[in-house]
Amino acid sequence: MGILVKPTYGCNYQCDYCYESGLPTQELLDMVMLKQAIKDAYAQDRGDLVFHGGEFLLLSKAQIRELFQLAFDLKGSINIQTNGSLLDDEIIQMMVEYKASVGLSLDGPWPLNASRGCGGIDARKTQYEQVMLNIDKLIVAGICPGVITVVHNRHMGAENIGVYKTWMIGLCERGIQGSHNLIQRPSDTSGLVPTSADTLEWYKSMADVILGNARYQWQPYRNIVDALLGLGLGVCSFSRCDIYHASAAIEIKGDGSVTSCSRSLSSGKLHLRAAEYSKVRAEILAQIPREHGGCHGCRYWKICNGLCPGTALDGDWRNRSEQCDVYYGLYAHIENRLRGLMPNIKLCIDDPIDDFAERACNRQQTTAFDAMLFSVTESPSSFRCTTPRVTPFVITTPFMGAGLPAPTNTPHGDTVVNTPHGDHTDHTDYRGGGPTRATIKP
């Protein structure tokens, strides 16, 4: 679980869609209480400490260093999410000193980023250009930041999709990864909430780019692949969140008080954190049909779990998310890619058993590739019809054990000599060495 430290909800930006815009920006900042709350939270959870906001860098540099030092003493590194406009050489040097992981909020190249910032359009363009320069400074200093993009109406349409793709690929080629977060609204006063159909086309287009290159690691696409394979839960939105006791993170305010996740603001309230987690929302959603705001019978319930309660229909946390149609289509798109590549793959949604608890701690033994394993099937294949193995598969004899033919030292195709690959020193085709080979016993 993450520990989000939010000393202030104040911000030098006035982004058109900010879900925290209704919060007071002049809160009490008590460094003594704040630091004690951080220590107490870390002692209980040992999770990542993330400095957040509002805009965290509005604090004085003395306060920033004091909190950085505390987090570093506890964890050995720090994490910070910022709009990036207030970065300067001194702060970047502090980030290097305290081994910072830095997240930046950017909605793409100009003018796609025009909903971020403050002042008029010219001022916002200048702010965007400064953030891009600060990215260069971070990389020169040895810090490769991550990027969060809030997806909204400015991104829609074929031309804008192409512009954003080019920008994102440019970041990827510099080693910068990120996340696409669909705009969250308590109300649509900015006209920035796109239609579900347009949004789905945008996400599918980005999924094809990200999943087409092993070096591109943007979310939620990679997390959805893991979730379909039964490997963990992925992003917090998929984690059966309790709006009063968010399992993915706690938030600590400037006065040391502890709240639940501020994304609950879709209901117009910031909730104090309940002492215990409740699964009542998941129980409700699993029983209520989709036409009445639930998830009963949904193909992707196991990996989706109704999404974030902060995005619930009508601002009522008991309902499924208003983003449901977009994510349903994205799950289907990625499922089809996996099945098209490996028709014999078994996804977690193929099994009706609720294995949420096992996947939540990422201890689930995936069966996704059973049809491709010699230990499970007589004729492993990613696409051919296979026959399940009916006799036990037991590892009993050494690789060069009695009764087994001596394998030849088959060339690997990468070289004419049998040189190490760098990942291990033997290739398992050496005479008299290597791991054990499995044999079948009746």
**Which residue, of 216, 242, 267, is where some domain finishes?**
267
Does residue 442 have a cis peptide bond before it, meaning omega lies within 30 degrees of 0? Answer: no
What is the average pLDDT across 257-280?
Answer: 77
Asked if the structure places residue 29 within a domain, the reply is yes
Number of domains in the chain: 2
Asked if the structure places residue 219 within a domain, the reply is yes
**Which residue, of 234, 267, 300, is where some domain finishes?**
267
Q: Are strands 49-51 and 258-259 parallel, antiparallel or unpaired?
A: unpaired
**Which residue(s) pair with 79 in the sheet?**
50, 101
pLDDT tens per residue across span 5-53 = 999 989 999 999 888 876 766 568 999 999 999 999 999 887 889 999 8
The rounded distance, in Å, linking the Cα atoms of 336 and 354 is: 22
Both tokens of residue 367? 């069966």
What is the average pLDDT across 160-168?
Answer: 98
Asked if the structure places residue 225 within a domain, the reply is yes
pLDDT tens per residue across span 88-97 = 999 999 999 9
Asked if the structure places residue 314 within a domain, the reply is no
Q: Name the one residue in this structure whose structure tokens are 């702010």.
A: 127
The rounded distance, in Å, linking the Cα atoms of 81 and 409 is: 52
pLDDT tens per residue across span 110-123 = 999 999 999 999 99
Close Cβ partners of 109 (under 8 Å, ≥ 6 residues apart): 163, 164, 166, 167
Q: Which residue range(s) make up the domain with 411?
A: 392-442
Close Cβ partners of 327 (under 8 Å, ≥ 6 residues apart): 300, 304, 307, 321
Q: What is the DSSP string of 247-290?
A: SSEEEEETTS-EES-GGGGGGT--PBPPSS---HHHHHHHHSBG
**Which residue, of 267, 302, 337, is where some domain finishes?**
267
Asked if the structure places residue 199 within a domain, the reply is yes
Asked if the structure places residue 334 within a domain, the reply is no
Number of helices followed by number of strands (H, E) in the chain: 11, 10
pLDDT tens per residue across span 304-314 = 999 998 889 98
**Which residue(s) pair with 148 in the sheet?**
105, 179
Asked if the structure places residue 335 within a domain, the reply is no
Does residue 54 have a cis peptide bond before it, meaning omega lies within 30 degrees of 0? Answer: yes
The rounded distance, in Å, linking the Cα atoms of 102 and 124 is: 22
Asked if the structure places residue 130 within a domain, the reply is yes
What is the CATH classification number for the domain harbouring 73?
3.20.20.70
pTM over 0.95: no
Share of the chain above pLDDT 90, in %: 63
